[in-house]
Structures are given as C-alpha cells and as structure tokens.
Amino acid sequence: TEDLSTYATFSRSWQLPNAGTFVSNGAAEFYSADLKEIGFKAYILDDALMFNAAVFQIEQERPVTDTTTGDVTDRDTSEHNGFELELRGQLTKQWSATASYTYLDAEDEDTGKKPNDVSDQLFSLGSTYQIDSHWRVGGNIKYVGERYAGNNEAVKLDSYTLVDLMAAYRVGKHSVQFNAYNIFDEKYFLGATGGTSGRNQIGYGAPAEYMVSYGYEF
C-alpha cells in the first residue's frame, strides 16, 4: 500500500584477512559473510512519522589467529540473530526526532561464546528544534551494551552512554555552529580490534570535546 511496504534481502560479501597478518595452511582465502533480512516500513500520522522494523541473521567467517606467532591458522563461523526498530519524523513544524533500537544475539557456532567486540544492545535518540529563523538546537543520546574483547570472552567491556549537544545560528549567508561531544566526559572503551601480533587491541573512546565551526554560502 502507499503507507506500508515490505522487503526481503539476501546478500553475500567477501574479504581477505587484515593487512599485516601472516597466514599459513592456505588460510589466505576469502572470508564470507551472509546477510538475510526481512522487514517492513510504515508511514503514519499523515506521513509525519516513519516506522521501520526488521529481523535479520548474519553468518560470518572469521580468521583464527595463533596468539604466539600472529599467523592465521584456521577459520571459524559466528552467527548473529537480531532485530532492529526505527522511528523518525517531523513531530511539529519546528521539531524533528529519531529513535532506533537494535538487539543482537551473536555467538560462535563452535564454542557458543560471543564474538569479539559485538554488543547485544544498541540504542540512540536524537532530536533537533528550529527555534526561529536564526537559531537551531539539538542533541543525541547513544547507548552501547556490554561486549567482550577476544573471541573467548577474555575481557568484558562495560556498556556506555554518550550525550552530544549542538546549537547553530544562521543569518544571511553566514552560519556558526557549536558542538559538544560526550558532554559528561564518559570513560569508555570504543572497541577491540585484532592486532598483527594476534592479540586484541582495546582502545579508549574520545573524552569530552567541543567544536565551533563557521560557514559561508557563496
């Protein structure tokens, strides 16, 4: 119908191991990832709001690395099952907002443990408000659930919440915008990636940050 549509998707992608990783036993072949997704999209309140919902499954091959030598010695497969919800729209003439939630149940098919750096829950809420012809303000909240560093749940990474704010002023062809990121100076781990030594590298996220920008339209 005009207000409701459904879809189904299947896709496959391939990639080689990360650059700088040594491979052995023919393990340098491509690693595949299969995505299956079905969902629907609906427009409500005279198209003022758009609601999207989907369920998906991802089967992904990953290299298995020797922690002593850094060599890729084998491959394993993880399965991700989850759903995502999204609501966005123009609530009033001046006010727009968007909210999204993702739930992900991921595990290694051989060990049953969670894969490296995969959170089970993600949530975000953002909004902007046009005060008048000159001023616009907004904000965003982002939540990332608990994760593990390492393919054997070696290190648990805590969940975190980030809050960003912005204010913009525009007159004629001139505009000035102020952004404040992570305003509560949350201490958090941004993620865990595989290093060339075969050991996971855990990195901190950015602290509180402030930025002012100027724009001019020609």
Query: At 207, phi and psi to the nearest 5?
Result: -75, -170
DSSP letters along the chain, please? --SEEEEEEEEEEEEPPPTT-EE-TTTTS-EEEEEEEEEEEEEETTTTEEEEEEEEEEEEEEEEE-TTT-EEEEEEEEEEEEEEEEEEEESSSSEEEEEEEEEEEEEETTT-PPPTT--SEEEEEEEEEE-SSSEEEEEEEEEE--EEESTT--EEEPPEEEEEEEEEEEETTEEEEEEEESTT----EEEEEE-TTSSEEEEEPP--EEEEEEEE--
pLDDT of residue 51: 94
More confident residue, 78 or 65: 78
Q: Is residue 140 within 8 Å of 132, Cβ to Cβ?
A: no
Domain count for the chain, please give it: 1
Q: Is residue 192 within 8 Å of 150, Cβ to Cβ?
A: yes
- Would the pLDDT of 24 be above 70? no
In one letter, which amino acid is 194? Answer: G
The Cβ of residue 78 has, within 10 Å, a number of other Cβ atoms equal to 22
99: domain CATH number is 2.40.170.20
Query: From CA 193, how far away is CA 171, in angstroms rounded?
Result: 45
**Owning domain of residue 206:** 4-216
- Would the pLDDT of 66 be above 90? no
Q: Is residue 51 within 8 Å of 42, Cβ to Cβ?
A: yes
pLDDT (tens digit, 9 = 90+) per residue, 32-62? 788 899 999 999 888 889 999 999 998 877 6
Two tokens, residue 188: 């958090």
Q: Is residue 110 within 8 Å of 76, Cβ to Cβ?
A: yes
Confidence of residue 82 (pLDDT cuts 50, 70, 90): very high
